[in-house]
Amino acid sequence: MRKPLIAGNWKMNLLYSKVPSYVEVLTKELQALHWTQATSGVLLAVPSPFLGLARELASKQGFSVAAQTIHEKSEGAFTGEISVNMLKDLGVDWTLVGHSERRQYYNETNESVALKSKAALEHGVTPVICIGETRAEREANQTHEVLRKQLAPVLTALKGSDAYVLAYEPVWAIGTGLTASDEQAQEAHAFIRSLLRAESPALAEKVRILYGGSVKSSNIKGLMAQPDIDGALVGGASLDPTEFAKIVAFSR
Ligand code: PEP
């Protein structure tokens, strides 16, 4: 049984000074909705300057904190980047890797995503590895091919490990208000799980696959009812802690 994981991706939003009130509201709302750590995991992917404070406050409430990206090297002359060593030193055990915005605006490739994921795992940081097709690729019936190409170097680099999470995020559904239908999402998740199964049946059973793309409290239940959807990666709707709490609570 895979425990659901609901991750909020703040992207470049909110402020350091708002972190305490966000965590406080999220905690109260989740209590009111009878959430417990046993029912689902809560992960907050916050901007780098917030990581230390967010970890300190969130960990007291049973939430985890993630970086939004890392560099594949442990240290060096890479101005503006953060390394997995730095995350560990802050007590941060999670990171997103290969979000479509990183691929689109910062030229991350399938190969660099694999290197970053490997670096995370080697330091005991769990990567949430994002994959997904563009609208043009879906319309050209290339979804499976794209997912296969995105995942192949990751599966090679992470061979022998099952300590990672995948996120299927169709690019056309991110920040657009367009959600994949429950059936479209399930079909893509089942395909991704079949790629894991080809590596090993145990891997396919263990690895959680999150859905991302305009998830809200009004559509989470249908998505979570699908057998291969193990949680969600939530962008816009995670910025409001009251709405995010509902998404977490409704994911059970
Ligand atoms: C995301 O940032 O990963 C995302 C899915 O964004 P949104 O929920 O806003 O579509």
For ligand 1, the distance from its centroid to the CA atom of residue 30, given in whole angstroms, is: 21
Q: What was the pLDDT predicted at 179?
A: 85
For ligand 1, the distance from its centroid to the CA atom of residue 76, given in whole angstroms, is: 31
Q: Does 177 score more than 90 pLDDT?
A: no
pLDDT tens digits, residue range 39-51?
999 999 999 999 9
Q: Does 224 score more than 90 pLDDT?
A: yes
For ligand 1, the distance from its centroid to the CA atom of residue 234, given in whole angstroms, is: 5
Phi/psi class of residue 43: alpha, beta or left (left: φ > 0; alpha: ψ in -120 to 50)? beta
Q: What was the pLDDT predicted at 144?
A: 98
List ligand 1's pocket residues with C-beta within 6 A: 9, 11, 169, 174-175, 212-215, 233-237
Q: Does 186 score more than 90 pLDDT?
A: yes
Q: What is the mean pLDDT of residues 219-245?
A: 98
Ligand 1 atom with the shortest distance to the CA of 238: 8
Q: Does 129 score more than 90 pLDDT?
A: yes
Q: pLDDT-based confidence at 178, cuts 50/70/90?
A: confident
Q: What is the CATH number of the domain that holds 136?
A: 3.20.20.70
- Residue to mutate (ligand 1; options 178, 215, 251; most atoms within 8 A of CB): 215
Q: Does 113 score more than 90 pLDDT?
A: yes
Q: What was the pLDDT predicted at 250?
A: 93
Ligand 1 atom with the shortest distance to the CA of 100: 3
Q: What's the domain count of the chain? A: 1
Ligand 1 atom with the shortest distance to the CA of 215: 8
Catalytic residue set: 99, 169
Q: What was the pLDDT predicted at 10?
A: 98
Domain ranges, residue 22: 5-250
Q: Does 19 score more than 90 pLDDT?
A: yes
- What CA–CA distance (Å, rounded) separates 79 from 182? 41
3-state SS class at 205: helix
Question: Over pLDDT 90: what percentage of the chain?
Answer: 97
φ, ψ of residue 192 in degrees (nearest 5): -60, -40
Q: What was the pLDDT predicted at 104?
A: 96
For ligand 1, the distance from its centroid to the CA atom of residue 119, given in whole angstroms, is: 24
Strands 231-234 and 94-97, bridge-based pairing: unpaired
Q: pLDDT-based confidence at 215, cuts 50/70/90?
A: very high
- Amino acid symbol at 240: D
Ligand 1 atom with the shortest distance to the CA of 234: 8
Q: What is the mean pLDDT of residues 10-33?
A: 98
Q: Does 252 score more than 90 pLDDT?
A: no
Q: Which residue has its alpha carbon closest to ligand 1 atom 1?
A: 235
pLDDT tens digits, residue range 143-171?
999 999 999 999 999 999 999 999 999 99
- Nearest to 120, CA basis, from 161, 174, 177, 180: 161
For ligand 1, the distance from its centroid to the CA atom of residue 171, given in whole angstroms, is: 9
Residue 130 in contact with residue 191, Cβ under 8 Å? no
